[in-house]
A and B are shown apart, each in its own frame.
Chain A
Amino acid sequence: EVQLVESGGVVVQPGGSLRLSCAASGFTFDDYTMHWVRQAPGKGLEWVSLISWDGGSTYYADSVKGRFTISRDNSKNSLYLQMNSLRTEDTALYYCAKDNTADSREFDYWGQGTLVTVSS
């Protein structure tokens, strides 16, 4: 059974930093591009970032480029999101998601999300 379990969400002050983690199981992790998608309270879905199977390619939404860094450790079946210079508008539930097929950018499995609150 595919499982994605996010962790690391907390309350942080504006300008602060945070690292989210996503532990994957039930599939061959290093076969798939992985993504972070967020959802602000009561709002829609916003794609944040992707990382290729080997970590060689990364992409970011304009809203987080230069502040967030996605990474992965295939030996630990884990995905990460380093979040710096946090803003109140980064407050959201952060999901990790897996590609349906290689490089498809169709998200067939999602975690339960981890809540990041940026507030003073």
Chain B
Amino acid sequence: DIQMTQSPSSLSASVGDRVTITCRASQSISSYLNWYQQKPGKAPKLLIYAASSLQSGVPSRFSGSGSGTDFTLTISSLQPEDFATYYCQQSYSTLVTFGQGTKLEIK
């Protein structure tokens, strides 16, 4: 199976900050990388698909980049509603795998 490793596991930031979360795959996955946001008690929400495509309805402050094994999710200016847990997920393999998550907390 393809292992997905996110860093950091947790992050404290302030409203207005620029934040970057990284995700590394154990083998090349081309651009088959997706990002989700999950708030407590809610289902995950697709933010970015195919490494850099913004899902419909997602604010433009979210962006994704990378290919091969290294990927990033960037939030350009944190808003109060962005404090949540973020997961990367590879869709290269039929056996989908997720990263362990990055919890973004208010500083």
Q: Do A and B bind each other?
A: yes
Mark interface residues in B41-82 (1 if CB within 8 Å of A CB, else 0). 001111001100001000000000000000000000000000
Is residue A46 within 8 Å, beta carbon to beta carbon, of the partner chain? yes
Task: Report the count of interface residues on A (CB-CB < 8 A).
Answer: 20
CB distance from B81 to the nearest CB of A (A): 18
Known: A44-B100, A47-B96, A50-B94. A113 touches B46 (CB 8 A): no
Q: How far is the CA of A35 from the CA of B97 in the complex (A)?
A: 13
Interface size class, chain B: 20 to 34
Known: A62-B1, A106-B34, A106-B91. A46 touches B43 (CB 8 A): no
Mark interface residues in A80-114 (1 if CB within 8 Å of B CB, else 0). 00000000000000010000100011111011110
* Those 8 A-B pairs whose CB atoms lie nearest each other, nearest first: A105-B91, A110-B43, A47-B96, A106-B49, A45-B98, A44-B101, A108-B46, A106-B34
